[in-house]
């Protein structure tokens, strides 16, 4: 099962990639403002993890550019340095989600995860500028500038890891390609991470590979080859080789599996964030005595990771006391549609807005309130534009981030709650706690099939389920709940009963029973 820390890490990685490739976009010397925004973002994230960030400045084509450096100083041999680097520029005409938003995201999360640890030697995190053409393998390449200055200072760098496009994977046969002669020796399925170095770095390649395999069961392949061979030197490790340092590239093999490589189609939704998280985080669940999933849907989404026979579904609980209707709370408002939660693409808000617009002529007094923090400002801008284009600004309110009390208030005021989750190959909502919160307030809900909503929602009982992305079906569901007050009240009454089945007391009991069964099984094995 996916460890909760792994899930959270995947979402943090996703947030970094979206910020770099979507919110900022193409970033290079010809998009100088965006390049500077990227540097500011990286600096801010590092400083939020308690690092002091140095900007190593140099000039290219009359403009100042920066390598960004943060260090975790060792408590033993602090002058022994491991450099972990990733370039933050993108190639001309490309938003650079995988190349190399994925590498930068990994760099930032590795820095965060290591912050505060007492390490024997020092670890230096460097975000390099100017890796992409026309600066690649020239003196204007950020990593070469950095490595040459390190050599001038006679710094004792015992190894360098270049994080280069680590976000794309596929389990399809034939999804991996190679230049000659590597196709003779390596697998044709793009489900692994590559660890690549030149012949002089062979010992480092072996050390990194052995360490990775001791701490992760994610598939990996290693290669030590002459630096001039196709693909071997295609990142910042090349610059460190030029200065006599041992260096390796950690990569998904980029152009040999990723069709969007160096194209305008290298966008954030193509990055496989759960796999990225697995590369970065040690996975312990395969050795666990018992596994717990928040929903059968989540269990099925990751069934290739562990046998379903080892998984016990224990759904999330809802705090009934926090959402129970009370006399002091505001009364239900007729034909008020509400959505609460993070404002992001996979929440499908553009579908809900379009559906609401379609029923507004029939229900001219209806209103739609959307409340929640936005993680994707470009998506929020898209929603604002959509509302303007549909001419429904008088009936739709984007409230932004709200308090818990304000959220509860909205649940109680609404007549219908809607959350149109969209599942993709890389991300999904595994349960849909917001549905239960609305149910606890006695409100019917509209959710999506083929998502975690199918477990808390029984269509026609406490809500209605519609196909993902289906605007017509979503509009019809909202219309029915607005038009048929008796049906809506019936679903609302059932909704309260449904929420009671998901109380935290019952969830706690399920967890305790799972623990007891595991302990009993272990005891039987010991005494058997």
The string of DSSP codes covering 247-264 is EEEEE--GGGT-TTTTST
Helix axes 103-114, 273-280, angle to 10 degrees: 40
pLDDT computed for residue 526 by the predictor:
47
Domain that holds residue 324: 320-501
Q: Are both 186 and 327 inside the same structural domain? A: no
User: What is the CATH number for 151?
Assistant: 3.40.630.10
Same domain assignment for residues 46 and 17: yes
Is the domain of 485 the same as that of 520?
Answer: no
Q: Under a CB-based contact definition with an 8 Å cutoff, are residues 91 and 234 in contact?
A: no
Q: Are residues 196 and 269 in the same domain?
A: yes
Residues of the chain short of pLDDT 50, as ranges, are 1-2, 327-328, 526-527
Question: 288 by DSSP, 3-state: which?
Answer: coil
Question: Helix, strand, or coil here: 392?
Answer: coil
Backbone angles phi, psi at 503, to 5 degrees: -65, 160
231 lies in the same domain as 349 = no
Q: How many separate domains does the chain show?
A: 3
Please tell me whether residue 393 adopts helix, strand or coil conformation: coil
CATH of the domain at 378: 3.40.50.2000
For residues 273 and 335, membership in a common domain is answered with: no
Half-sphere exposure of 189 (CA within 13 A, CB side): 8
Q: Indicate if 427 and 492 belong to the same structural domain.
A: yes
Contact predicate 256/278, CB 8 Å: no
Same domain assignment for residues 393 and 517:
no
Do 32 and 133 share a structural domain? Answer: yes
Q: Are residues 388 and 491 in the same domain?
A: yes
DSSP 8-state secondary structure symbol assigned to residue 503: B
The burial class, CB within 10 Å (0-12 / 13-18 / 19+), for 321 is exposed
User: What's the pLDDT at 207?
Assistant: 94
pLDDT at 399: 92
Dist CA 124 CA 162 (whole Å): 12
447 plus 515 within the same structural domain: no
Given 237, 265, 285, the domain boundary residue is 285
Whether residues 87 and 203 share a domain: the answer is: yes
CA–CA distance, 348 with 60 (Å, rounded to integer): 43
pLDDT reported for residue 286? 55
With contact defined as beta carbons under 8 Å apart, do 23 and 377 qualify? yes
Using the 3D structure, point to which of 285, 305, 337 is the last residue of a domain. Answer: 285
What distance in Å separates the CA atoms of residue 104 and residue 52, rounded to the nearest whole number? Answer: 17
């Amino acid at each position: 099962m996916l460890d909760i820390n792994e899930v959270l890490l995947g979402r943090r990685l996703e947030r970094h990639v979206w910020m770099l490739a979507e919110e900022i976009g193409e970033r290079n010397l010809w998009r100088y403002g965006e390049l500077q925004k990227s540097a500011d973002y990286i600096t801010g994230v590092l400083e939020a993890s308690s690092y002091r960030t140095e900007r190593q400045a140099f000039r290219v084509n009359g403009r100042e550019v920066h390598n960004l450096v943060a260090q975790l100083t060792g408590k033993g041999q602090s002058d022994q340095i491991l450099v972990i680097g990733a370039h933050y520029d993108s190639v001309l005409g490309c938003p650079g989600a995988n190349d190399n938003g994925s590498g930068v995201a990994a760099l930032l999360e590795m820095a965060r995860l290591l912050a505060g640890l007492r390490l024997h030697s020092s670890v230096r995190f460097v975000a390099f500028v100017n890796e992409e053409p026309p600066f690649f393998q020239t003196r204007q390449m950020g990593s070469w500038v950095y490595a040459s200055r390190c050599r001038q200072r006679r710094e004792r760098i015992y190894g360098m890891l270049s994080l280069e496009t680590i976000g794309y994977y596929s389990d399809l046969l034939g999804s991996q390609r190679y230049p000659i002669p590597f196709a003779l020796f390596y697998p044709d399925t793009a489900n692994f991470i590559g660890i690549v170095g030149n012949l002089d770095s062979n010992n480092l390649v072996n050390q990194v590979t052995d360490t990775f395999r001791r701490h992760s069961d994610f598939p990996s392949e290693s290669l030590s080859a002459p630096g001039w061979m196709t693909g071997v030197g295609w990142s910042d490790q090349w610059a460190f080789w030029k200065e006599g340092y041992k260096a390796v590239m950690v990569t998904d093999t980029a152009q040999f599996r990723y069709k969007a490589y160096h194209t305008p189609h290298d966008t954030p939704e193509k990055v496989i964030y759960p796999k990225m998280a697995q590369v970065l985080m040690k996975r312990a669940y395969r050795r666990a005595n018992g596994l717990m999933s928040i929903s059968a849907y989540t269990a099925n989404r990751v069934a290739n990771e562990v046998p379903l026979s080892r998984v016990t579904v224990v759904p999330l609980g809802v705090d009934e006391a926090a959402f129970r209707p009370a006399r002091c709370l505001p009364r239900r408002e007729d034909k008020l549609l509400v959505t609460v939660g993070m404002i992001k693409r996979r929440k499908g808000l553009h579908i809900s807005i379009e559906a609401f617009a379609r029923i507004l002529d029939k229900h001219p007094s209806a209103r739609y309130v959307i409340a929640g923090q936005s993680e994707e400002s470009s998506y929020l801008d898209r929603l604002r534009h959509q509302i303007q284009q549909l001419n429904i600004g008088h009936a739709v309110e984007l409230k932004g981030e709200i308090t818990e009390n304000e959220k509860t208030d909205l649940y109680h005021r609404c007549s219908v709650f809607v959350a149109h989750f969209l599942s993709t190959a890389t991300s999904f909502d595994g349960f849909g706690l917001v549905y239960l919160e609305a149910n606890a307030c006695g409100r019917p809900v509209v959710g999506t099939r083929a998502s975690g909503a199918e477990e808390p929602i029984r269509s026609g009982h406490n809500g209605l389920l519609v196909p993902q992305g289906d605007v017509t079906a979503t509009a019809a569901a909202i219309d029915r709940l607005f038009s048929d007050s008796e049906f809506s009240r019936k679903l609302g009454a059932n909704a309260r009963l449904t929420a009671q089945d998901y109380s935290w007391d019952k969830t706690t009991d399920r967890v305790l029973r799972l623990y007891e069964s595991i302990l009993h099984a272990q005891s039987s094995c010991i005494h058997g």
